[in-house]
Amino acid sequence: LDWFVGILGGAYMLLSLYAVLGTHVWKIWVKGEKIIYRSYTGIKHYYTFADITRVSERLDGGYEFYSGKKKLFRIDNNLSDGSKLAIKLQVKQVPCDKAGMTVDKFTLKTKGVYKAVSAMSVGFFCWMVWVMIEQNETNIIFFRPMLALAVISLIIFIDLITDRFSVNGTRVTRRRGLIVKKFDISEIESTRLKKGLFGEKIEFYVKGKCIAKVSTNNQPYDLLDKRIRKEHILRKR
């Protein structure tokens, strides 16, 4: 128990330090064609708009700025400066992609926050089971429900981290756990949005049969939506 409390305390201190540095040290200025970037360590870097050849919007909403293949700096999603700077660069016709993905090649994944919460649930329930086993309390009434919750949370976590919906050109690959389905995007006759217990999903139909479905909360869903529009695939209600 002591080591567990120590880990939580250490994590809290690191998060607090990160927040302080982000609030009081990190900063970015735009002066004409010059961009001044001060990192979390307090070191200033000087760039111009001409140095930036590509902008990549991260799945969490932040932005990364590149010169060729070299990443110059990053702006997190909680700062409006990132979107403002990205808009200025788009006006200058600097290419902007979504985490290195385009409408022709992308992969939808579960949001990081869902995987993080699921991982914490697995850790908590497994830790509780381990404590009961260590204290020889496997015969108490709470042990079996706790063991069941640990197994269920582990299954959900595995499902979330293996959830993939990839489009590469015209080929579509749907992966979930050990199940993999592959088909051509031209085979899709229609799609349908359907609300369920765990949120909204989009279903894909071939010859009147649903062959795959994916959560609309997966990222980057906007690229999938654009591709469906590009292919003029029928949307059913």
The total number of residues written for the chain in this structure:
237
pLDDT of residue 12: 66
DSSP annotation of 102 reads: B
* pTM, to two decimals: 0.69
Range in 63-67, 195-199, 230-234 the model is least confident about: 195-199
Question: How is the beta sheet containing 190-196 ordered, strand by strand?
Answer: 209-215, 199-206, 190-196, 234-236
CATH no. of 106-236: 2.30.29.30
**The two structure tokens encoding residue 10:** 């250490």
Name the residue with tokens 């609309």: 216
The model's pLDDT over 1-57, given as tens digits with 9 standing for 90+, comes to 556 566 666 766 776 665 555 556 677 777 778 888 887 777 888 988 889 888 888
Structural domain spans, the chain: 2-98, 106-236
Q: How far is CA 234 from CA 11, 108, 213, 225, 229, in A?
A: 48, 21, 15, 12, 9
Give the model's confidence band at 158: pLDDT under 50 very low, under 70 low, under 90 confident, else very high: very high
Tokens representing 67? 């010169």
CATH topology of domain 2-98: PH-domain like (2.30.29)
Q: Which backbone phi and psi does 40 adopt, to 5 degrees?
A: -65, -25
CA-based angle 134:135:139, to the nearest 5? 105
What is the amino acid identity at position 171?
R
CA-CA-CA-CA torsion for 129, 132, 133, 137, nearest 10 degrees? -140
pLDDT digits (tens, 9 = 90+) for 109-157: 998 888 989 999 998 898 888 888 888 887 888 888 899 999 999 999 9
pLDDT tens per residue across span 166-192: 999 999 999 988 889 999 999 999 999
